[in-house]
Structure 1
């Protein structure tokens, strides 16, 4: 006798009865025909996680859902790792994701970071998967780092049986094959990025895998036919394209959800993944279905179920982060400005919008956005990065990247780690650490105005504001303004007449093209009150910037209001 119908019945009954704890479940038993009559032929797609991952063959490309800490298909990832440890199979998988999902402590994508289980990877950003980054450093996998938006479009092109995106994004950066071609170690020899000409335009062709054999996805609710809705998810991400890519490659689409309902009970407009694309559905326990890996449960302000009061957001304390965020906030200089904020230091700009909008007449009409697909609201930080509190709209990542690539962003605020005299910026690769470029290249090359934001130096920097003056109490150990960056995540040669600023707590620079110069140069244009240019700025730079007319940074930045 086939035990699967009975197992599925047990799973459904456990869910409907509130997990066996005596509390009433979220649905009535009568809503599920499988529970009404166990003798009815079983045609549902519900199964155990072990059954689902048993369908994954050796050697295929696998794409998991998730973004930083959101939408992690944790039950399926754990089950796949357990299968590998128990059987040694599947082996030699490739993994492809726009951004890793995890907590940087082993949860999420790092469940797959095992030699033999994975032997190749393509990623946009892997900062929450340090296990994979260790495998890259130790030459245990082939690895390519490509722009996050490019990876999103690669997955879409696999679904459409196209050869891969052709785009201007990435030219003259480390993903250009004339630089590194995105290759991350000596084991990675094959070129998957190629320079092509279309008319007079020079572009990059990013070669897509021929097939994706498995997609590990997650949603909120599934019906017995595998239709999936996302009502409690913080983002849509690329899950529809991932499902289409696996389906059109003859692969398998596995989805974990937190609840299961009967056929024909989901409204068609609420379904994001049609059941025709889904092979198996797995019911996840609450502890493996966190909305974000920051904390258990669901924050309804991220999924649009509720709106959280913005007055609950505390102002930033007066420190270097606030100074930088406040100066960048002032670059919102037009009505209805559409802004993208990067991870880390740029997140402070969102706080300034929420707490200091009265100081900027254009802040009230600003739309903050994320490359993950959130429009409006206040972008989340940390493991919530990519999502947004009180969003106006959520769209798939690939669609947001289309808009970004067409210069839809009026202002972007992105982090910085290294800057050189030619205006090149590195945020993606350092000795012993290579989280990847994420959406940095997609955004910095196409936005109308660019602000790179970060402290002037790192490693022990301590500052204070006294009487409207900035004091450097302890200088940072590590210089950021260096003779040559370790890797070009932004190429100064791609300024193309745009406004590009470098904003620190003590000085502001811009990229210019001097008359008679062969390329862009870094010009010092502002210093903070109380800062000595020679002692506090030039003495800590490996090159001398262009200095013509230096103004003080706006005094309001250094006031406690």
Structure 2
């Protein structure tokens, strides 16, 4: 059948009850929000479509308020949810915790590769990614609420191949794929040339088409056939059923601020990186600085959200940004990663790869250095970022990245909550500490397995805070450095639920970390 051009309201009417719907996007990028909004409006008026089985690869928080997967926060709309991340979906949290529907989570890279596996009718994805984390069926099997545990459904299995253990993630059929492009031509060929990211639009469309499902694509505009260069076509018309031109407020490159496109993010222009604001001199800067001491010239790196995003800005300040190759799990490499909810994009990217392609490289050990956050750390070196404080944020690409990296640094403040910690005359002054302990005897959720890391024996793991630095050894978490001005007993050990191993040559953190001037680093 030839491609049909319809509006988003009609697209929502085409989605039937009890179907499996795959939605593409990355936070607020490549997000078909017109279609998602009309699905919500139809459900509120008609209570249809209902009982959908929904899958999305990356977090679809949109603007962190009303967009993206937040549109689906209605009882009855979903009967099952499979995703990797929910960090900007506040409307969905209560329903998940109330067990309104079973919720399962997988590593982001596995879900991205799942689209290729479905498209090629493979039985599933076989990987060691997720071993000995909450995804492992010997722990939680990716189930993140009681409804999932009681459902009897398994989304991952433990298997053996050639005397090695692997996780097997079975495929499933897709009925609908909802994706986003920049431009469609009048025959239905799709280009993503103005998007900040190139995700798995092709793989998701091919998966739905090969399952006998339908493919809906929201775009910013339509041009005459022939106006899109063939090399710029990401999804050919043969895979597309419906094209929807989004309203200006519900489409575009992103949903941040005024929503105007940032030409640098898609490579249409270069910005002067030295004009970017330097990081303020505070404990977060100290943490980022300490992690850079583990970097080597030419390293291929990945940075997580939050404090770790400052590493790229700091490298730029120190004139070292060209000495390394940065990457983001969205597929963007090079440049300076954008901050906040713009995570996933970069200023002056060198390349914008497809998400499943970058995860192939990650999973094979391509990352030399990774810096990511940590909500909880325990005596075994396990790290939790996926479920804490009554929220299920999910792992996103954290599991793929941390398991594959040669050196991984977990960055964060030593305690959580409101604090007053100053840097005065090159020394740390803890006026008021955070009220919540982050170093737990056992983490609530295992997103990084210290045991699996030690078992591999090829990975270096560091846990870096403003007052103490730990590494992972056969003795578990081991303290190797302490900040000038911090007291070992009162500021460190008494603020932990366990006593870590302490290196016999316990050192003081580098003095340069605690002064405002540039460090003059060389990699």
Task: Give the TM-score band, short-chain normalised.
Answer: over 0.9
Partner of 2:498: 543
SS class of match (2:123): coil
Tell me which residue corresponds to 2:372.
414
Shift of 1:288: 1.0
Provide the residue aligned with 2:520 in structure 1. Answer: none
Query: 1:511: which partner in 2?
Result: 472
- In structure 2, C-alpha distance between the alignment counterparts of 1:264 and 1:162, rounded to whole Å: 35
- 5 Å matches for 1:72-471? 72-101=31-60, 102-188=62-148, 189=151, 190-209=153-172, 211-295=173-257, 296-333=259-296, 335-357=297-319, 363-471=321-429
TM-score, with length taken from structure 2: 0.95
Say which SS state the counterpart of residue 99 (structure 1) adopts: coil
Q: Which entry has the higher C-alpha Rg, 1 or 2?
A: 1
Classify the secondary structure of the residue corresponding to 2:505: strand
Counterpart-to-counterpart distance in 1, 2:250 and 2:145: 34
- 2:455 is the alignment partner of 1:492: no
Of residues 473-482 and 62-71 in structure 1, the stretch that sits farther from structure 2 once superposed is: 62-71
C-alpha distance in 1 between matches for 2:410 and 2:238:
44
Measured after TM superposition, the shift of residue 133 of structure 1 is: 2.4
Report the CA distance between 1:43 and its aligned residue. 6.0
Give the secondary-structure state (helix, strand or coil) at the position aligned to 1:140: coil
Calculate the aligned-residue CA RMSD, in Å: 1.4
SS at match of 1:175: coil
Instruction: Give ranges in structure 1 of 5+ residues lacking alignment.
Output: 1-41, 515-520
- Does the 8 Å contact 1:167/1:205 carry over to 2? yes
User: 1:213 and 1:67 mapped to 2: Cα distance?
Assistant: 21
Distance (Å, rounded) in 1 between the aligned partners of 2:31 and 2:340: 15
Match of 1:518 in 2: none
Deviates more, 1:45-54 or 1:396-405: 45-54
2:463 aligned residue: 502
- Are the counterparts in 2 of residues 45 and 224 from structure 1 also a CA contact under 8 Å? no
Distance, in Å, in 2 between the alignment partners of 1:431 and 1:553 is 31
Structure 1 stretches of 4+ moved >6 Å: none
Q: What is the distance in 2 between the residues matched to 1:354 and 1:314?
A: 10
**What's the secondary structure of 1:79's corresponding residue?**
helix
Tell me, in whole angstroms, the C-alpha distance in 2 between the residues paired with 1:543 and 1:128. Answer: 32
The alignment's TM-score, normalised by the length of structure 1, stands at 0.89
Distance 1:53 1:422, change over 3 A: same
For residues 275 and 254 of structure 2, the distance between their equivalents in structure 1, rounded to whole angstroms, comes to: 20
How many matched pairs?
508
Encode CA deviations 1:264-303: one digit per residue, 9 max, x unaligned.
2211001111111111111112111132221212001111
What is the aligned partner in structure 1 of residue 439 from structure 2? 481
1:80 offset after TM fit, Å?
A: 1.3
**How far has the Cα of 1:311 moved from its partner?**
1.3
Any conservation in 1 of the 2:182–2:252 contact (CA below 8 Å)?
A: no
